[in-house]
Amino acid sequence: MRSARNDGEKNPQGTTAGRPGHTLHKGGLRQRHLTMIALGGIIGASLFVGSGSVIHTAGPAAVLSYALGGVLVIFVMRMLGEMATAKPTLGSFMEYAREALGERAGFIVGWLYWYFWVGVVAFEAVVGGKLLGGWFNAPDWVFALVLMFILTATNLLSARSFGETEFWLASIKVATIIVFLSVGALFVLGLWPGSQLSVANIGQHGFIVNGGFSILQGVVVVIFSYFGAEIVTMAAAESEQPAKAVAKATNTVLWRILLFYVGSVALLLMITPWTEIPSNSSPFAAAFDKFGLPAAGQIMNVVVLTAALSVLNSGLYTASRMLFALANRGWAPGWARDCNSRGVPWKAILLSTIVGYVAVAMNYVSPDQVFSFIMNSAGAVALFVYVIIALSQLSLRSRMTDDEKAALGLKMWLHPWLGIITVVGIVVIIFSMSLIESTRTQLWLSLISLGVLLVAYSITQRVRHRRARK
């Protein structure tokens, strides 16, 4: 009998071949699903709520924080897009890291990514539970568990069910941003009823008002807001034309980040002087209030809930597919590859969900210790993943023949220099986390998580070698 590892090596994508019960349904996601996953993937509750905190950290220079963080993510996505269009695969950057940097790198990035998303699933469930609990005057934990249950069921139905749910949730986020950008532009130009030209608000009290380091502090916070853009490279493996879907998503990431994030924050700073922008509530709700739109606060709460549900939904999907890919390589229990008749890895989904349920429970049993540890220990994981993606692309491109390079449908710009700059930039951000009190704990706990995985890999390899000798 072949091992799970050997099965996985013959079928690393897990979508086109394999024994019955170990194959995902290719074609479950349509192009419109992938388009909206790509559009909405970078729009989370952190934009609608957390942007106020970034603005108070960096002042009007928060625009630079969002722009610098966005440029790094654009470069990372371009590098990932190059690899994903050349070789679409379910494990995405886990497979590229394994091929480029070795088995250890693939193992570590796969498990880091899974751990990050199961933590995010729990966090977003808690956020959604608090919103609903406030509306209905009921315990938050009840709604958090209900939300987990509903979106677990959605993911278990089929890949198309996930895609359809994400399509509509992401549509609400994108529509909200488009309305804000449209009305906000009219408002700051004095073309909206009751408004006057207010573009100068962005520099009314100066621009870099809190010093240059505050810009870097802002980058440390905002770069995590962009995490999720890479989901489309994993989802594309369950579509009919994965290379085309990845290329399209990668080519549009530039304007998505510049328009949705940098553009929105710039408008916020033009609508209201930065000292008057709320830091503990949604600056978008405050802006909609200034537009004179009725029930702006309640509408934004619905949008924030939608954003949380969207991230929860895509987090469950992404975590389960990465776990499936890990099992294909023999780095996770073999049963995590089991699929139902609709090609859904139901055991991988349930395992990812169970961890989420435990984390949600810990938020109410031990919010300041266990839940805090779970969240903080995944705090820098996104940056670790970005570094490994960049290093993988640099390594894989250097091994290509001239013909292979010429055949690439999507290429990283100015290779290898922009790739090297990207790695250096991310390393600077990681180092900066150790200098900022609010992120220092996240960095050290994330490094502990990395250390645990290094030990786990060594143990896994020893176990596999012993089994191979028997």
Count of structural domains within the chain: 1
Tokens of 443: 């960095």
Note the pLDDT tens digit of each residue in 170-188.
899 889 999 999 999 999 9
Q: How far apart, in whole angstroms, are the C-alpha atoms of residue 128 and residue 141?
A: 10
What is the predicted pLDDT for the residue at 1?
34
Question: What value does the mean pLDDT of the chain take?
Answer: 87
* CATH number of the domain encompassing residue 351: 1.20.1740.10
Sequence-separated (6 or more) residues with CB below 8 Å from residue 375: 119, 123
Q: How far apart, in whole angstroms, are the C-alpha atoms of residue 302 and residue 355?
A: 27
186 phi/psi in degrees, rounded to 5: -65, -40
The torsion angle over the Cα atoms of residues 253, 223, 181 and 81, rounded to 10 degrees, is: 0
Contact 316, 353 (CB under 8 A): yes
Higher pLDDT, 38 or 147: 147
Which whole-number Å values give the CA distances from 19 to 2, 170, 177, 326, 339, in the listed order?
Answer: 11, 34, 44, 17, 10
Note the pLDDT tens digit of each residue in 282-317.
899 999 999 988 888 888 889 989 988 998 899 899
Give me the DSSP letters along 165-182: HHHHHHHHHHHHHHHHHH
Q: Containing domain of residue 176, as a range?
A: 4-469
Tokens of 304: 């924030």
* pLDDT higher than 50, residue 18: no
Q: How far apart, in whole angstroms, are the C-alpha atoms of residue 297 and residue 135?
A: 13
* pLDDT higher than 50, residue 12: no
Note the pLDDT tens digit of each residue in 417-450.
999 999 999 999 999 999 988 889 889 989 999 9
What is the predicted pLDDT for the residue at 468?
75
Across residues 40-50, what is the average pLDDT?
79
What is the predicted pLDDT for the residue at 121?
87
Query: Would you tell me how many other CB atoms lie within 10 Å of the CB of residue 178?
Result: 12
Across residues 237-249, what is the average pLDDT?
81
Q: How confident is the model at residue 402 (pLDDT cuts 50, 70, 90)?
A: very high
Residues β-bridged to residue 204:
206
Query: Would you tell me how many other CB atoms lie within 10 Å of the CB of residue 298?
Result: 11
Asked whether the whole model's pTM tops 0.85, one would answer: yes
